[in-house]
Structure 1
Amino acid sequence: MEQSIYRSHILVCGGTGCVSSGCKEAQDALKEELAKHDLASEIKIVETGCHGFCEKGPIMIFYPEGVFYCEIKPEDMPELVEEHILKGRIVERLLYTEPTTDKNIPAYQDIDFYKKQERLVLTNCGHMDPESIEEYIATGGYEAVGKALTEMTSQEVIDEVKEAGLRGRGGGGFPTGLKWQFAKDTESDKKYIICNADEGDPGAFMDRSLLEGDPHRIIEGMIIGGYAIGADEGYVYVRAEYPLAIKRLQKAIDQAEEYGLLGEDLFGSGFNFDLHIKAGAGAFVCGEETALMNSIEGKRGMPRPRPPFPAQKGLWGKPSNINNVESYANVPNIIRDGAQAYKEIGTEGSKGTKVFALTGKINNTGLAEVPMGITMREIIYDIGGGISDGKKFKAVQIGGPSGGCLPENLLDLPVDYDSLIEVGAMMGSGGLVVMDEDTCMVGVARFFLDFTQSESCGKCTPCREGTKRMLEILNRITSGEGRDGDIEMLERLAENIKATSLCGLGQTAPNPVLSTLKYFRDEYEAHIYDGKCPAGECEDLAGAYVIDEDACIGCTKCARVCPVEAISGEVKEVHVIDEDTCIACGACEPECPVNAISQG
């Protein structure tokens, strides 16, 4: 029988990010080292879900001290065991280093990345074994579903979710309780509840981390949702590219069935509920709820005209409710602790927290859960640690391909559903990409439009053809062939696509273009009328480099790194760059010790 009392616990992050950076190998080396010192029965190793600080993986936290070690390798294990476990000394070189102060921070809770977070849905992620139903129950798991089924009517459950003010975390922010009410009020002999775990936004991994780190929370939220609307069967639609999430979710379903938490007569209430996993084929459009239902039915993932809405006629023609992973993950907290406790977090129109995937030109990339109403500045500078390499902030893309790019003067904007819509962006599923001064905003718009155009299902003409025409114009502009009138044409096409596309994905596809035109119009004009890319990213518009004669000291460093020998000059004499030979590769600029080189 496994010993249940240990003098120490070591939590090893087992999320996809840490797995890909070698956590399994480090964990094996740790077990081997503990065995050498006869410590295997005294120290328990727990493989957890994602801690959120993915770029610092593999991550281990040593308890009871709570020391956070990051970027560990198998060869570090002898030192960790010898110094930390046997001698009680912290291994400084494996601690997290603050990017702005170079200060080592031992305690998990003292790291800036975590300090301003408020973890509700991520509360268990990184702190328990996601493959153990016993650990989930020990943290209060399944108390909410027990309360709902034995103490509340289905309408009381819906009323509590309405009162809490929970809005859908998948993108549009529609009130969850109202959505449930529509499905409940539709009469039918069969209903379905569906979890949309098909996050296709570039750089987004919120749903994956929740399913990997706390799968029972999503199951519990879906059981409560099923009870509320009168559904006895549910589906979790997961991207096939998430094998670890699928594995852990299936194990959680099996455990819940074994414990009588799925199946027939749950908690003696007479309510039956079964849950299945459907692995998606990876099409971005399957994140749209009607296309997702088509995919579950074995059809091509293409949107359906609405009305009828899924609450009236959904999966296999039956009333259905669809929410995303994060939406369901909020439900147990609301039912267990009450709507009033949930309402204390967030703003008037946006209650609770939101999980964001921080990526791009930022020091601390990873997964962060923050209270609604926090400013973008706090997310980027206090949690994200500021812009990497000492560069200046330029813009932040929020909401993925359906969202918008916001400039520096909007950094103090409160992050909630309504304020983002007002400035031409949207919450989306939670992707947040930070860009620095060297980012071309026309190129950013082209990148996102290229993604949505290639992912268009092709069913409706506005999305299929309209996004293609917009992309052709953006390709022209970034290749130095922009024309007078291109900006106006982009705006007309964008408005038409938004007004006439069949589904929400097509309707929001032009948002990155419209937001960059709104806040960075001068960059479009520079590309078209001046033949220049202000950021120097567009190769066809990159001018040759020049050397400031007054600043050059003739050190020859630039000439030595030029791959095409475009730089001439003798030692201690002014150097010159031949514009006809220069390929604008930029190799010379960082080599100059006096900053005498710039792009013309």
Structure 2
Amino acid sequence: MTRITSRQMLERMVRELAEKRARAGLVVKVCQGTGCLAAGAEETFRAFQEEIARQGVKAQVIPTGCQGFCQGAPVITVEPRGWFLHRITAADVPKIVDVVLKRGGELVQHFYRDPQTGKICRRPEDMPFFRHQLKIALRNLGKINPMDIEDYLAVGGYTALAKVLTEMTPEEVIEEVKKSGLRGRGGAGFPTGVKWEGARRAPGARKFVICNGDEGDPGAFMDASLMEGDPHSVIEGMIICAYAIGNCREGYIYVREEYPLAVKRLSIALEQARAWGFLGEDILGTGFSFDIQLKKGAGAFVCGESTTLMMSIEGKRPSPRVTPPRSVEKGLWGMPTCLNNVETFANIPIIILKGGEWYAQYGTETSKGTKAFCITGKVRNTGLIEVPMGMTLREIVQKLGGGMLEEAQLKAVQTGGPSGGCIPEEYLDTPVDYESLTRLGSMMGSGGMVVVDEGTCMVEFARFFLNFTQQESCGKCPPCRIGTYEMLQILNRIVAGEGQEGDIELLEELGRKIKETSLCGLGQSAPNPVLSTIKYFREEYEAHIREKRCPARTCTKVGKYVIGEDCVQCGWCRDTCPHGAILEKREGFYIEPDLCQRCGACLGVCPVGAIYLEAAGGEKPWSKPSPVR
């Protein structure tokens, strides 16, 4: 460990570490992000260590953060060849060490094969998933060991901080951020430079910087991946912000406790940054002092809202307060506070090094730069991506997502997490930027992107997200506390086949009023999934209410269960039914309507798909599932 006391010393250290990195020889980089760890990457990592030692191969094994291609977990990269191998289990390691590392050969079966062209892709840049990305915030993920500050320094880490502290005034830093056009990546999209400028102008002898790492959207893990895979870039961005706003010696990183890996790696990074002289007193010998504390949240979704998050840090009951005054004027403990999210801070060092105009060349007129997304759902390739603002949803789904899974037909893309909206297939050529998504009734949010197919019921989809936000409501304001509850009860009735005429109009009215009168962003955006699905998929609501049927064939409480003529008399359905509703007569099995609770257990066991749902009042089956395989 070496304490860096000057810019010259840092630059010398960076050069030495970069040269050492270039001479490293064979290096196996094993993804140790949460997704790969869940797929067994820890065992893969240990197997490489043991096998390299056993076979006497001269090679290093280092852990990295998320490499992005979660669909192929566990994944590894072999340097200096740059080969990318996926689905590598511990059982595959001995052969890889022998053939690839020891003899310089190839194992084609572990390379990605493009399903559309059949081409073998040896390197990430050969794969459509990576080729169409532009990584700025995620620039270091998968390339460095997040638990080794020397790896971060080897790629130029903390040189942006040195530049700021030795040759830029706070005003010049803010101006560079404003030139970049960077907007807050947490969802609201407020211009970052303008926020920093407001915090600097606010009078106060004590100010704070807060990093919001309370990422709670279902299906989103961008911030978690950054904190796990490149924590020092976030820390460096926060230190630069503290210098820019002035009178700031204290900062907080607020992370939900359900992110244990992020907490662990951030803790290590903070300790290393202090030991090397990037946090604490007299940073780089410039007289500037600043330190960061890690604050763990209890997992309340509402703590993603800035004023609520600050209440939590203060040890109070987390609930939002009325604004104005804004947080930059009166935030943590009543002091001026600058709060940005993880991805926003991760962009700052590279903007300082390359300039605001360099960053602003990417994106659209009003949405500059890039945005990280987590693409999940019914696509071939799920994972963590970063693309220029302005790329269309269709391009993301087709080029990066690899298109839909076999036999799946694209229906909609849901953006913005539980506070976002569903965008139907006909609007997928819309560019991804703040204004375009808002016009469609959705939002950018933190970056969740869920692709759904025709087998998804949009009424149930909206009910799922509203149920989440209703449970996560802090309960402070009646519009959110009572309004979302009433909307949820209506949706529960509709998917249970008990919807009534007027329910759709009532949902729309409640949704509009909740958006207009709720205290914070959670309540103001909670109706979005419902309102957007009514706007674009109204016929599905009407079918549930008027015809007592689910067009997507998934709501088991709608319609009547019937056993068809192709029944093979195996009796599995009768043995499985928990309600004793399947009876036998001379002609075969039948379902007694008065006993059937429409739980769907019989649908899952019928080997030939002979059980189906029949719309109320109709004899023609409207839903017939595929046979069990």
For the residue of structure 1 that corresponds to 2:63, the secondary structure is strand
2:182 counterpart letter in structure 1 = L
User: Is 1:165 the equivalent of 2:175?
Assistant: no
> Which piece of structure 1 moves more, 299-308 or 525-534?
299-308
Please state how far the C-alpha of 1:87 moved relative to its aligned partner.
2.8
Which of residues 312, 317, 337 in structure 1 aligns to 2:354?
Answer: 337
Asked if the contact 1:179/1:321 (under 8 Å) is kept, the reply is: yes
Q: Return 5+ residue gaps in structure 1 as ranges.
A: none
Please state how far the C-alpha of 1:113 moved relative to its aligned partner.
1.3
Task: Report the Cα distance in structure 1 between the residues aligned to 2:168 and 2:98, rounded to whole angstroms.
Answer: 54
Task: Report the Cα distance in structure 1 between the residues aligned to 2:223 and 2:131, rounded to whole angstroms.
Answer: 22
CA distance 1:299–1:35, change in 2 (3 Å): same
User: Is 1:274 the equivalent of 2:284?
Assistant: no
For the residue of structure 2 that corresponds to 1:520, the secondary structure is helix
Deviations 1:123-180 (A, max 9, x none): 1100111112122112111111111111111111111111110000001101111111
Please state how far the C-alpha of 1:115 moved relative to its aligned partner.
1.1
User: Is 1:17 the equivalent of 2:41?
Assistant: no
Task: Report the Cα distance in structure 1 between the residues aligned to 2:459 and 2:287, rounded to whole angstroms.
Answer: 58
Task: Report the Cα distance in structure 1 between the residues aligned to 2:450 and 2:375, rounded to whole angstroms.
Answer: 6
Please state how far the C-alpha of 1:516 moved relative to its aligned partner.
0.4
CA distance 1:499–1:30, change in 2 (3 Å): same
Task: Report the Cα distance in structure 1 between the residues aligned to 2:151 and 2:474, rounded to whole angstroms.
Answer: 42
Task: Report the Cα distance in structure 2 between the residues aligned to 1:99 and 1:580, rounded to whole angstroms.
Answer: 47
Partner residue in 2 for 1:192: 208
Please state how far the C-alpha of 1:112 moved relative to its aligned partner.
1.6
Task: Report the Cα distance in structure 1 between the residues aligned to 2:111 and 2:330, rounded to whole angstroms.
Answer: 54
Which of residues 92, 95, 98 in structure 1 aligns to 2:114?
Answer: 98
4+ residue runs over 6 A deviation: 1-4, 565-570, 595-598
Give the aligned length.
586
Task: Report the Cα distance in structure 1 between the residues aligned to 2:150 and 2:97, rounded to whole angstroms.
Answer: 29
User: Is 1:351 the equivalent of 2:368?
Assistant: yes
Task: Report the Cα distance in structure 2 between the residues aligned to 1:330 and 1:152, rounded to whole angstroms.
Answer: 18
Partner residue in 2 for 1:69: 85
Please state how far the C-alpha of 1:182 moved relative to its aligned partner.
1.0
Which of residues 557, 564, 575 in structure 1 aligns to 2:574?
Answer: 564
Partner residue in 2 for 1:304: 321
Please state how far the C-alpha of 1:55 moved relative to its aligned partner.
3.0
Partner residue in 2 for 1:423: 440
> Which piece of structure 1 moves more, 52-61 or 457-466?
52-61
The residue correspondences of 1:190-589 to structure 2 (distance < 5 A) are: 190-230=206-246, 231-544=248-561, 560=570, 563-564=573-574, 578=590, 580=592, 585-587=602-604
Deviations 1:352-411 (A, max 9, x none): 000001111111111010100000011111101111232100111100111100000011
Task: Report the Cα distance in structure 1 between the residues aligned to 2:194 and 2:290, rounded to whole angstroms.
Answer: 22
Which of residues 55, 70, 73 in structure 2 aligns to 1:37?
Answer: 55
Please state how far the C-alpha of 1:86 moved relative to its aligned partner.
2.5
Please state how far the C-alpha of 1:333 moved relative to its aligned partner.
1.3
1:26 counterpart letter in structure 2 = T
Partner residue in 2 for 1:599: 623
Task: Report the Cα distance in structure 2 between the residues aligned to 1:437 and 1:295, rounded to whole angstroms.
Answer: 41
Which of residues 130, 145, 149 in structure 1 aligns to 2:165?
Answer: 149
CA distance 1:108–1:313, change in 2 (3 Å): same
1:409 counterpart letter in structure 2 = E
Task: Report the Cα distance in structure 2 between the residues aligned to 1:62 and 1:281, rounded to whole angstroms.
Answer: 39
Task: Report the Cα distance in structure 2 between the residues aligned to 1:122 and 1:589, rounded to whole angstroms.
Answer: 47
Partner residue in 1 for 2:65: 49
Q: Please report the RMSD computed on the Cα atoms of aligned residues, expressed in angstroms.
A: 2.6
Task: Report the Cα distance in structure 2 between the residues aligned to 1:567 and 1:308, rounded to whole angstroms.
Answer: 67
Q: Return 5+ residue gaps in structure 2 as ranges.
A: 2-16, 576-581, 613-619, 625-629
1:67 counterpart letter in structure 2 = W
Task: Report the Cα distance in structure 2 between the residues aligned to 1:144 and 1:469, rounded to whole angstroms.
Answer: 51
Asked if the contact 2:470/2:485 (under 8 Å) is kept, the reply is: yes
1:57 counterpart letter in structure 2 = A
Please state how far the C-alpha of 1:99 moved relative to its aligned partner.
4.3
Please state how far the C-alpha of 1:546 moved relative to its aligned partner.
7.4
Task: Report the Cα distance in structure 1 between the residues aligned to 2:96 and 2:481, rounded to whole angstroms.
Answer: 56
Task: Report the Cα distance in structure 2 between the residues aligned to 1:256 and 1:36, rounded to whole angstroms.
Answer: 35
Asked if the contact 2:573/2:606 (under 8 Å) is kept, the reply is: no
> Which piece of structure 1 moves more, 134-143 or 478-487?
134-143
Please state how far the C-alpha of 1:98 moved relative to its aligned partner.
3.4
Please state how far the C-alpha of 1:253 moved relative to its aligned partner.
1.3
1:390 counterpart letter in structure 2 = E
Partner residue in 2 for 1:28: 46
CA distance 1:144–1:545, change in 2 (3 Å): farther
Asked if the contact 1:562/1:587 (under 8 Å) is kept, the reply is: no
CA distance 1:561–1:112, change in 2 (3 Å): farther
Deviations 1:294-351 (A, max 9, x none): 1101111111111211111110111001100001111111111001110111000000
In the superposition, the TM-score normalised over structure 1's length comes to 0.93
Task: Report the Cα distance in structure 1 between the residues aligned to 2:205 and 2:623, rounded to whole angstroms.
Answer: 69
For the residue of structure 2 that corresponds to 1:526, the secondary structure is helix
User: Is 1:180 the equivalent of 2:190?
Assistant: no
For the residue of structure 2 that corresponds to 1:294, the secondary structure is helix
> Which piece of structure 1 moves more, 84-93 or 139-148?
84-93
Task: Report the Cα distance in structure 2 between the residues aligned to 1:78 and 1:422, rounded to whole angstroms.
Answer: 54
Please state how far the C-alpha of 1:473 moved relative to its aligned partner.
0.3
> Which piece of structure 1 moves more, 233-242 or 95-104?
95-104
> Which piece of structure 1 moves more, 162-171 or 87-96?
87-96
In the superposition, the TM-score normalised over structure 2's length comes to 0.88
CA distance 1:503–1:520, change in 2 (3 Å): same
Which of residues 24, 48, 60 in structure 1 aligns to 2:76?
Answer: 60
For the residue of structure 2 that corresponds to 1:535, the secondary structure is coil
For the residue of structure 2 that corresponds to 1:519, the secondary structure is helix
> Which piece of structure 1 moves more, 374-383 or 538-547?
538-547
For the residue of structure 2 that corresponds to 1:309, the secondary structure is coil
